[in-house]
Structures are given as C-alpha cells and as structure tokens.
C-alpha cells in the first residue's frame, strides 16, 4: 500500500485529525495555564492598575478666631446641583453622552428657573478629564431653587444635590484687609491621584500667611472604572483631616470700633497692646467685603476704584507723620544731652532759617517755651530749633532704632517700610547734599520722611511701655512679646515726654483735647502734614494716643487723608474709639457715633 492509498483511508485520516486537535488543545491549555496560573499576579496587578482611579479629597480648612473666641473665618456647606455622567452615558460616540448631558441641563434650567451655567466645551472637558467625578452644574444654590428642586414631580436620573465646603466669613467686611481671602487651587495630575477636587488656597492676608497651617490634609477615594472611564463602584475612602485652627490677637469688638471710627473717610487705624505688641485692631478705609471677591465683576470694579479699597493703608500707606514725630526729636535731644527739660526757644510764629521761614500753626507765636509746653502746643518753631541743635545724625539713629525706615515684620504681605532719609540717600536720589532745612523739616515730621500707621503705633507703644520696641504680631504664640530692641531711655526722659503728651489731651489748651475721656486719662500727640500741589494743598491728620496715661494698656493711632487737622478731624474719632474700648472693659455696650466719630 502506497502513501496515496493510506491517506485515502478514511479511518486513518480521522485519527490524524483527532491527534492534531488534541495537540492544539494541549497547547492552548498550556498557554492558559501560563497566563492564569504562572503569570496570574502580574496580569492581575496590571488589570487593577488600569481599572482603579484615585480621587484626591481636600481637607477642611482650619478656622480663624479672634482672641475672645469670635469666629472670623470658618467653613460652611454650600449646596450644588451635580450630574453623574456615568449614569447618563449613551451608547455609541461620546458626543451622544454630551448631547444627553446638555438635554438634562436644559430641562433642569427650565424647571428650576435658573440660567444654564455650563457650556458644551466644559462638559466635553469634564468627560475627558474628570469623568468619575460629579459634574457641578450650579453652585451656591439658594433656598428658592432648593424648594423648586424638592417640588419636582419626578426625580431625574443622574442628578443630585451635593454639598461643597466653602470659606465663610461671618462678617465679611470685618478685618477684611487682615483676614484676606482664598481661591480655588487645582494642583492638576500627580503621581498618587488621577483626579483632584479643588483645594482652597490663601491668596492674601492671614489666609495667605498661615496657609500651610490652615490647609487640611487631603484624603482620597478609590474608584473602579471601566475601559471608557465610567465609574462602577467605590472601593475605599480615606477621610481628609482638617487644618489647624488659629487664634489671632485681634479683638473683633475693638476692630468694629476702629472701622466705625473711620467711617466715611480714607485712612487707617491701629490699636496695639503696648505691653507685648499684640495687634488688637488693624483697620483701613475704604474697606471692602470679602464676599465681593467671589463675584468676578465686583472684584474687577474694586480693583479700579480710585479709593483703592484693596490697599491696606495701616501697613502699606506711606505718610509724612507731621507733629506726631516731635516726641522722637525730644527724646533724641534729651538722651544725647543736647537739651534738657528747661531748654527754652522763642516762637515768634515762625522759625527763621537764614531767610527761609518755616511757619508755626499759631501765626502770632507762642513766645518763649520749654520742652513740655512745646510738646503740648506742638510748636513748630521750637522743634525746628531743637532738631538743628540735636543734629540730624542723632535723630536718624534714634528713629532707626525705634523702627522707622524698615518694615515692622508683622505677619502680613506687602508691608511698607516708609522712608527714613539721610545724607547718602539724598545724594543718591536727588544729587544734592543734606541741608539744615532738611533737618528742620524732618524735625516737624515733614520733608522726605514717610511712615506707616503701624510704625507710628509701634513708636507710641515704645513710649507707653517705657522704651521696649516689640514686633507687632497678629498670632500670639507665647504670652511675652517679640522684643526687638530695648531703647534704655532714662526715667527723666520718659517722664518729660509722657507728661507733655498727657498735657496734649488733658490740658484745656492741648491740641488733642477733643480726645479727652471722662474717667480715663489719655496721653497723645496730634499732627498735620500737607501734601499735594501748592495751589491745592491738602492735609493728612494724625493722632497717636495711649491710655490709661499712667499705666497704658492700649495704643491707638489714626491717620485721615484730606482732613483739616489732627486736633479737629482725628481727635474726636479717637475719643469715640477709646470710649468704646473702655466701655467694653466694663462690659458695657460700646457707643459708636453714627457719623463715625465726629464730635
């Protein structure tokens, strides 16, 4: 029998086919054994990795409190309407799902009476990048929309109410410049998470300064998705951890008083505890509502407001201090033995500097004056003569040591340093030498000298507490203050200068008598500084105070722009502020003038 006959034998052909099939089956079984048993862990790991998606959940932001336990910044739930795209998925092309989502949005818009907020492009982007997450259609819905939602006869599939945490400021205009505001931070994709829900990030004020402490620790959700990215189920959740709560030195009640005292004006007010540098109030006017920043249009309007409400004048405003600088000139002269309490200069109504006359506010003149009376009367002629007798280098070093010319270091961004000029500065900037006229001008707080209200408050606190320069602080980590410098002023110097400043308020002839209180003795110093073109001269009106004069617990400093004078414009407002503060100490309702302090 040859091979042809053998192959034509039907029985043999059948047996050979069976052998081939058996061989193929055994080969296939060996392959599956290799995949499902030998390499099981490798393929299982790959499959899980491809079907699991991590979602980062932001941690709740820490709260901000005032020193008495008043909540200044917290979190509240905000209700939103969201669509779950995986429940609205349509067969076929992805555009079918987009069309379905748009149809649902249009239906909801009609039923709820709210305009549609999402565009088709936003829907496409969400499906492409954040498919397992809810697509928020409307945020911050009010009770009216909630009621319409509840009254809908048939609940819509794939749509639900979700709760989002938002930053909440119970009094959104209170201490807005200090607290600052937050914005949404989306860090994008990372190694550990595939999707992110937005964090809140500090953008200004203490929200920015303390962001690392206030920010919570993120948690996460592990979602199982299919090949198209649609969620099937949730596997595990790691709860986020809230950020740290922070207590500020601010006193909300005193802050309200300070802001009320500035009502209707442009200017700034600072209240410190001179014993440790704690900032009890830091107010700038005009102010703004933090909530307004959530509205893009309102935020843009504030940005171009000529009143510059965004600027924190208390720390960034640069003003000539006027006569409030005179106590420093007196201290510099006394401490450097260039004058005594009995040093007398005559005031004919001006100071004659080689033919250049610098006028005194009393044009008829004060006559012969000793130092304490010169402080009370704020005599320009006296302090021009005293400054020149002292010499500018001594004044400069005293001013620098007490904090002028550089930032105080308060825990806020964009603090100004003011300007404490000297001869090298004038040569560099104006290409001119230092002259006696420069010294005379700075001796009365004019000329090139610029200060911030916070710097003036630190200076007033240094006089009030006996010569200790404390860094002003908004977060009290320890009861003692942050001591920057010990001026070591003599008791005689302090007694003389503080006595003159007490006379400013308590004497019937003092320039700050409108700040006088009934039951508490107040020490202070008024000041006025001219600015603007000569034909349209305007004035900054200052007053710095500390009280009680004998044992100060409060320093209050205020500057008003485009005012009459410190004694007329500012002193009555300081009176209202201090009256309110001491009323609070006695548990009384703090009286606030409806005009904001005009007496």
Listed by start position, the domains of the chain span: 53-247, 252-585
CB atoms within 10 A of CB 524: 33
SS (H, E, C) 478-536: CCCCEEEEECCCCHHHHHHHHHHHHHHHHCCCCCCHHHCCCCCCCEEEEEEEEECCHHH
CA distance 519 to 455: 29
Per CATH, the architecture of 53-247 is what? Alpha-Beta Complex (3.90)
- Cα distances (angstroms) measured from residue 69 to each of 99, 257, 329, 459, 583: 51, 18, 41, 29, 19
Is the Cβ–Cβ distance between 360 and 373 less than 8 Å?
A: no
Q: Spell out the per-residue pLDDT of the chain, length 599, in tens.
A: 554 554 456 666 677 667 667 766 776 766 666 656 565 555 444 444 445 556 667 788 999 999 999 999 999 888 888 887 877 888 888 888 889 989 999 989 988 889 998 899 988 888 877 666 778 888 888 888 888 888 887 767 778 777 778 899 999 999 999 999 998 776 554 445 555 566 788 999 999 999 999 998 877 766 565 544 455 555 557 778 889 999 999 999 999 999 999 999 999 999 999 999 999 999 999 999 998 877 667 777 777 888 899 899 999 999 999 999 999 999 999 999 999 999 999 999 999 998 889 999 999 999 999 999 999 999 999 999 999 999 999 999 999 999 999 999 999 999 999 999 999 999 999 999 999 999 999 999 999 999 999 999 999 999 999 999 999 999 988 888 899 999 999 999 999 999 999 999 999 999 999 999 999 999 999 999 988 777 778 899 999 999 999 999 999 999 999 999 999 999 999 999 999 999 998 876 555 443 333 33
Termini Cα distance of the chain: 135
Query: What pLDDT score does 49 carry?
Result: 43
Is the Cβ–Cβ distance between 251 and 68 less than 8 Å?
A: yes
Kindly report the length of the chain: 599
Q: Which helix (H) or strand (E) holds 15?
A: helix 10-33
Is the Cβ–Cβ distance between 282 and 262 less than 8 Å?
A: no
Contacts of 289 (CB under 8 A, 6+ apart): 172, 173, 176
CA distance 41 to 381: 93
Helix axes 392-402, 380-390, angle to 10 degrees: 100
CB atoms within 10 A of CB 118: 17
Instruction: Report the DSSP pairing between strands 64-65 and 246-247.
Output: parallel
CA distance 157 to 144: 22
Is the Cβ–Cβ distance between 282 and 178 less than 8 Å?
A: yes
Global model pTM greater than 0.85: no
Coil, strand or helix: which one is 98? helix
Query: What pLDDT score does 239 carry?
Result: 79
| CA nearest to 598, candidates 514, 504, 502 | 514
How far does CA 169 lie from the centroid of its chain? 13
Sheet containing 523-531, strands listed edge to edge, beginning at the edge strand earlier in sequence: 278-285, 267-273, 554-560, 538-547, 523-531
Helix boundaries (H) for 403-452: 423-430, 436-443
Is the Cβ–Cβ distance between 128 and 194 less than 8 Å?
A: no
Which superfamily does CATH assign the domain made up of 252-585 to?
Answer: DD-peptidase/beta-lactamase superfamily (3.40.710.10)
CA distance 279 to 97: 57
- Phi, then psi, of 590 in degrees rounded to 5: -75, 120
CA distance 150 to 157: 15
Query: What pLDDT score does 593 carry?
Result: 43
Query: What pLDDT score does 209 carry?
Result: 96
CA distance 253 to 200: 28
Question: Two tokens at 522?
Answer: 């107040």
Beta strand extents in 253-360 (DSSP E only): 267-273, 278-285, 345-347, 350-353, 356-359
* Structure letter (DSSP) for residue 200: E
Query: What pLDDT score does 38 carry?
Result: 62
Query: What pLDDT score does 233 carry?
Result: 58
Radius of gyration for the chain, computed over Cα atoms and rounded to the nearest angstrom = 37
Coil, strand or helix: which one is 288? coil
Query: What pLDDT score does 42 carry?
Result: 52
Residue linked to tokens 């400013």:
504
């Amino acid at each position: 029998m040859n091979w042809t006959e053998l192959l034509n034998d039907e029985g043999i052909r059948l047996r050979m086919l069976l052998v081939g099939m058996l061989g193929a089956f055994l080969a296939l079984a060996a392959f599956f054994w290799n995949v499902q048993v030998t390499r099981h862990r490798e393929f299982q790991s790959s499959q899980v990795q491809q079907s699991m998606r991590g979602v980062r959940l932001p941690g709740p932001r820490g709260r901000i409190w005032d020193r008495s336990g008043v909540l200044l910044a917290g979190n509240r739930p905000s209700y939103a309407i969201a669509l779950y795209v995986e429940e609205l998925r349509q067969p076929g092309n992805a555009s079918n799902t987009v069309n379905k989502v748009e149809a649902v949005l249009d239906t909801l818009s009609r039923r709820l009476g709210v305009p549609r907020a999402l565009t088709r492009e936003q829907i496409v982007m969400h499906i492409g990048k954040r498919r397992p997450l809810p697509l928020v259609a409307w945020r911050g819905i009010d009770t009216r929309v909630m009621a319409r939602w509840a009254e809908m006869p048939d609940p819509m599939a794939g749509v639900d109410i979700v709760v989002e945490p938002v930053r909440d400021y119970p009094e959104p205009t209170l201490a807005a410049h200090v607290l600052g505001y937050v914005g949404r931070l989306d860090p994008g994709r990372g190694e550990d998470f595939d999707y992110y829900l937005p964090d809140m990030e500090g953008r200004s004020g203490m929200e920015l300064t303390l962001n690392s402490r206030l920010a919570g620790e993120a948690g996460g959700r592990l979602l199982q998705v299919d090949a198209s990215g649609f969620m099937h189920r949730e596997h595990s959740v790691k709860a986020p951890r809230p950020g740290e709560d922070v207590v500020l030195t601010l006193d909300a009640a005193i802050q309200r008083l300070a802001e009320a005292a500035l009502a209707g004006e442009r200017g700034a007010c600072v209240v410190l505890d001179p014993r440790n540098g704690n900032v009890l109030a830091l107010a700038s006017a005009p102010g703004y509502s933090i909530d307004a920043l959530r509205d893009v249009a309102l935020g843009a309007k504030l940005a171009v407001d000529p009143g510059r409400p965004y600027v924190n004048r208390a720390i960034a405003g640069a003003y000539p201090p006027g006569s409030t600088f005179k106590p420093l000139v007196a201290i510099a002269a006394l401490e450097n033995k260039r004058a005594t309490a009995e040093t007398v200069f005559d005031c004919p109504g001006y100071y004659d500097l080689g033919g250049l006359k610098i006028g005194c506010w009393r044009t008829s003149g004060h006559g012969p004056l000793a130092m304490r009376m010169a402080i009370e009367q704020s005599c320009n002629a006296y302090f021009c003569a005293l400054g020149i007798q002292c010499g500018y280098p001594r004044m400069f070093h005293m001013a620098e040591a007490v904090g002028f010319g550089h930032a105080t270091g308060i825990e806020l961004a964009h603090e100004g340093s003011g300007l404490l000029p000297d001869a090298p500065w004038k040569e560099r900037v104006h290409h001119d030498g230092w002259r006696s006229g420069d010294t005379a001008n700075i001796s009365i707080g004019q000329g090139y000298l610029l200060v911030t209200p916070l710097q003036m408050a630190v200076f007033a606190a240094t006089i009030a507490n006996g010569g200790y320069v404390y860094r002003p602080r908004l977060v009290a980590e320890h009861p003692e203050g942050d001591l920057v410098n010990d001026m070591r002023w003599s008791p005689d110097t302090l007694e003389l200068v503080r006595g003159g400043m007490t006379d400013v308020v308590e004497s019937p002839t003092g320039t700050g008598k409108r700040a006088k209180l009934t039951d508490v003795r107040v020490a202070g110093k008024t000041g006025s500084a001219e600015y603007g073109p000569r034909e349209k001269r305007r004035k900054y009106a200052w007053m710095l105070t500390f009280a009680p004069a004998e044992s100060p617990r409060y320093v209050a400093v205020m500057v008003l722009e485009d005012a009459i004078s410190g004694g007329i414009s500012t002193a009555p407002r300081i009176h209202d502020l201090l009256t309110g503060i001491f009323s609070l100490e006695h548990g009384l309702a703090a009286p606030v003038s409806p005009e904001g302090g005009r007496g």
